[in-house]
Amino acid sequence: MSKVVGIGASPKRKEDLRFVTGRGNYVADIKRPGMLFGAFLRSPHAHARLGAIDVTAAGAMPGVVAVYTGEDLKADNVGGLPVGWGIHGKDGNPMKEPPHPPIAHGKVRHVGDAVAFVVAETVEQARSAVEAIDVQYEILPAVVSVVEALQAGAPAVYDDIPDNLCCDWELGDAAAVEAAFIDAAHVASIELVNNRLIGNPMEPRAAIGEYDFATGQHTLWTTSQFPHVVRFLMGEFVLHIPQHKLRVVAPDVGGGFGVKQFHYAEEAVVTWAAAKLGLPVKWVCERSEGFVSDAHGRDHFTEADLALDESGKFLGLRVRTLANMGGYLSTFGPNIPTNLYAPLLSGVYRMPAIHCSVKVVFTNTVPVDAYRGAGRPEATFVLERLVDVAAIEMGIDKRAIRRRNMIPTEAYPYQTPVIVEYDSGDPMGCLDRAEKLADVEGFEQRRLESAHRGKYRGLGLSTYVEACGLAPSRLAGSLGARGGLYESATVRVHPTGAVTVLIGTHNHGQGHETTFAQIVSDRLGVPFEDIDIVCGDTAKVQFGMGTYGSRSLVVGGAALSKAADKVILKGRKIAAHQLEADLGDIVFEAGEFSVAGTDRKKKFTEIAGAAYVPFDYPLETLEPGLEEQSYYDPVNFTYPGGAHFAEVEIDPDTGTVTLERYTAVDDVGTIINPMIVEGQLQGGIAQGVGQALFEHGVYDESSGQLLSGSFMDYCMPRADNFPAIVVAPHSTTCTHTPMGVKGCGECGTIGSPAAVINAVVDALQPLGITHVDMPATPNRIWNIIRNSRAALAAE
């Protein structure tokens, strides 16, 4: 039976029936009449000058329709891939922004850089022909590490940027921080690596281009988190197609995790080639190809110092980070290690002074951009590792030092020294609840039991705060964004009262079809089954900014809520006319418009019908129809936060770290769907644990080859790596979002890496260890144990 399903309920996800019954519609599933298939030749070298490219043999192979190189695109005036965010250095100069051709010309800058594109009748023919292209490479020395790239004499990724420095950026008050360090009773220091990650969503990227000569209309089907932004960037800057002549469709997308949040070369190449050939052209990424062509994440080297007084109170934080951008600037690359990183360094603490400098650096690696959490896990990792180091060095309990510095809930709104003002939160409450759920009291007993079996056991804690819900446009603009960051929603009420929502966000696993339907059901009293959520097609949906930065609910949901408000207001006007009452006397509740204090009422369905059959209708003052639209630009970020405990056991004989327990208490504001939020948190935690224990994008230092370029070498976490994860809410209400909601999509990845590594270090603390870099693989841990035992024996 159809019924209203409101906020706070956990119905089954609307979208899951088609997924679990194999009826999803992914780009790879789409077939167009006469469709051709494309394959890319990708550079096997990390850094090389391109000489002659002989495509004669490839072009003559069976089924081959065309072979294109970077020179062909250049000759046709195809532009470079634009960057969506421009930052400025501490000297006031803009970042270096070299061109990023969709297919390389002149030079290749990383293994996997596109060199040519073959179009053939079958994908096998296209792939065979790729092998027959003869390229003259003049191999150049490559540099893959950020530290090396800044050394004098390092190979220059760009001839005109000899120091490889894209931007030398800073935030905060350097003088205040220096003064804090002069007064400090103790300074804790750390040097750490935030390891490179490769997203690997379950569905690899794919794109189909099509051109209709009759209408001059181009269509791109793509695995994207933000089809409207792709339409804008590709149409305006790369292919010079007017917006109304370009349709971008992102149908079902099998996970993005940030990786599908950029405008990629392949999208432009298939769209361009389809128009050249007059036939649709499809490209589907192979898994191994994805390893060297999907944007990577993280890859920082950081030195940081924390100044404390004798009681363990924080006085100041100094952070120096080198951030790897790879061989080209990806769409949001420069924004991630700067604006999404430094403003989060205060965490949930009163930190009187912060200064963060970030050198953003080119190397001969795959471009680096946002990956779930994007900058915020990196900031949390620096801070929460440093707090543990300070606690160990000063002999203060790790929970006590945090409590001593936490922002009390009554101090909100809280202005940090690094731009952001937290509107609400209760970090102490989160920690209290997490401590209980994690049975911290029982830990000592569990440690003894592990020791009894010859194992080391450790307990790690990380608190965190996140800025999400990107973003207040004006603030983002002042920080270098090259576009607004509002969101849009249309509520289309049909004559029967059923509703179609057109929303500018994109659902690729987060359950929007369910949670957004819950919002509408709750607000309009419309049965859950009678509501459809439509996204991902620029021909259907008004301009929207898409899904990333855990923005869909707090920005998109807010637009939806406001559009629903407008529907209610119009409905009240119709009801006032029909019930012959003043507008002020009409109340809307539980799907009914009634005259306050009377039993005179009209159902939502009756009003919807009247809007489209306006016989008894105030036509003099009101247009027929019931469809409302809203664009919502947030006034601030939302600031979810929480406390995560990880408990690990280490086998000293093998170095294997086993995650024994994981407890997360998170403040995500009002919760629309508890089941979906729990799933988001669990998924995020699994990804964060993956970073902490398993995953690492490793490059060979001299050749620039990606050594972990397949699932044989890149270790994704698996279900049997996890205990049952305990997730519990501790919510405070966001003061500025319409429903009091905060984002939740990235929280798990933010708290977990530091919690796990803090647990690993805790287990190894008796050996004198104060830091372990990620990932804490058996090899790394075994070596640490062996070396520290040897050092202890030598003392």
Binding residues for ligand MCN (CB under 6 A): 201, 255-258, 372, 508-512, 515, 547-554, 668-673, 676-677, 680, 683, 741-746
- Separation of CA 622 from chain center: 43
Judged by beta carbon, residue 110 or residue 508, the one nearer ligand MCN is 508
Cβ closest to ligand MCN, residue 302 vs residue 680 = 680
Q: How far is the CB of 95 from ligand MCN (least distance, A)?
A: 24
405 or 673: whose CB is closer to ligand MCN?
673
Query: In whole angstroms, how close is the CB of 260 to ligand MCN at the nearest point?
Result: 8
What CA–CA distance (Å, rounded) separates 610 from 619?
Answer: 11
End-to-end CA distance of the chain: 75
| Closer to ligand MCN by Cβ: residue 401 or 739 | 739
Nearer to ligand MCN, 364 or 673 (CB): 673
Residue with tokens 């959520």: 533
Beta carbon nearer to ligand MCN, 69 or 550: 550
DSSP state, residue 767: G
By CB neighbour count within 10 A (0-12 exposed, 13-18 middle, 19+ buried), where does 590 fall? exposed
**Based on CB atoms, which residue is closest to ligand MCN, 120 or 524?**
524
CA distances from 363 to 291, 515, 659 (A): 17, 41, 34
Based on the number of CB atoms within 10 Å of its own CB, is 210 exposed (0-12), middle (13-18) or buried (19 or more)?
A: buried
Taking a C-beta distance cutoff of 8 angstroms, is the pair 732, 331 a contact? Answer: no
Q: At closest approach, how far in Å is the CB of 263 from ligand MCN?
A: 17
CB 381 within 8 A of CB 373: no
Nearer to ligand MCN, 83 or 671 (CB): 671
> Which among 446, 318, 442 has a CA at the least distance from the CA of 383?
318
Element (H, E) at 48: strand 48-54
CB-wise, 264 or 362, nearer to ligand MCN? 264
Closest CB 328 distance from ligand MCN, rounded Å: 21
Q: 79 CB contacts (<8 Å, ≥6 apart)?
A: 237, 238, 239, 240
Q: Rounded to whole angstroms, how far apart are CA atoms 649 and 283?
A: 45
Shortest distance (Å) from residue 229 CB to ligand MCN:
14
| Residue number, 525 or 549, with CB nearest to ligand MCN | 549
What span, in angstroms and rounded, lies between the C-alpha atoms of 508 and 506? 6
Query: What is the spatial distance between Cα 616 and Cα 178, in angstroms, rounded to a whole number?
Result: 74
Considering beta carbons, is residue 55 or 526 the nearer one to ligand MCN?
526
State the minimum distance, in angstroms, from the CB of residue 420 to ligand MCN.
18
Distance CA 180, CA 306 (A): 9
Q: How far is the CB of 749 from ligand MCN (least distance, A)?
A: 8
The beta-strand segments (E) located in 445-498 are: 456-465, 487-493
Judge contact between 346 and 417, C-beta under 8 A. Answer: yes
- The tokens describing 576, both together, are 């006032």
Give the whole-angstrom CA distance, residue 114 versus residue 68. Answer: 11
Nearest-approach distance from CB 685 to ligand MCN, in angstroms:
12
* Residue closer to ligand MCN, measured from CB, 304 or 672: 672
Q: How far is the CB of 729 from ligand MCN (least distance, A)?
A: 9
* Runs of H (alpha helix) within 343-442: 376-394, 398-405, 427-437
Per the CB < 8 A criterion, the answer to whether 377 and 395 are in contact is: no
The sign of the dihedral angle between the CA atoms of 595, 599, 600, 601 is: positive
For residue 490, the Cα-to-chain-centroid distance in whole angstroms is 25
Minimum CB–partner distance for residue 212 and ligand MCN (Å): 31
CB of 572 to ligand MCN, least distance (A): 27
Least distance from ligand MCN to the Cβ atom of residue 198, Å: 14
Helices (H), 498-656: 512-524, 558-578, 604-612
- Which of 7, 440 has the CB closer to ligand MCN? 7
- Closest approach of Cβ 577 to ligand MCN, in Å? 35
* Cβ neighbourhood burial of 562 (10 Å; 0-12, 13-18, 19+): middle
CA atoms within 13 A on the CB side of 718: 4
Smallest gap from Cβ 248 to ligand MCN, in A, equals 18
Cβ nearer to ligand MCN, comparing 145 with 424: 424
Question: Is the link from the previous residue into 471 a cis peptide, with omega within 30 of 0?
Answer: yes
Handedness of CA 406, 432, 740, 499 (dihedral sign): positive
Cβ neighbours of residue 429 under 8 Å, at least 6 residues apart? 409, 667, 730, 732
Residue with smaller CB distance to ligand MCN, 469 or 527: 469
Supply the DSSP symbol for 395. Answer: T
Pairwise CA distance, residues 733 & 731, whole Å: 6
Residue 335 or 550 with smaller CB distance to ligand MCN: 550
Pick 318 or 372: Cβ nearer ligand MCN: 372
Angle 417-420-423 from CA coordinates, rounded to 5°: 115
Q: How many CA atoms lie within 13 A of 606 on its CB side?
A: 14
For ligand MCN, the closer CB: 655 or 683: 683
| Minimum separation from the CB atom of position 508 to ligand MCN (A) | 5
Shortest Å, Cβ 374 to ligand MCN: 7
Rg (CA), the chain: 28
In the complex, minimum distance from the CB of residue 557 to ligand MCN, in angstroms, rounded to a whole number: 6
The strands making up 531-534's β-sheet, listed across from edge to edge, are 531-534, 499-503, 487-493, 627-632
CB of 531 to ligand MCN, least distance (A): 14
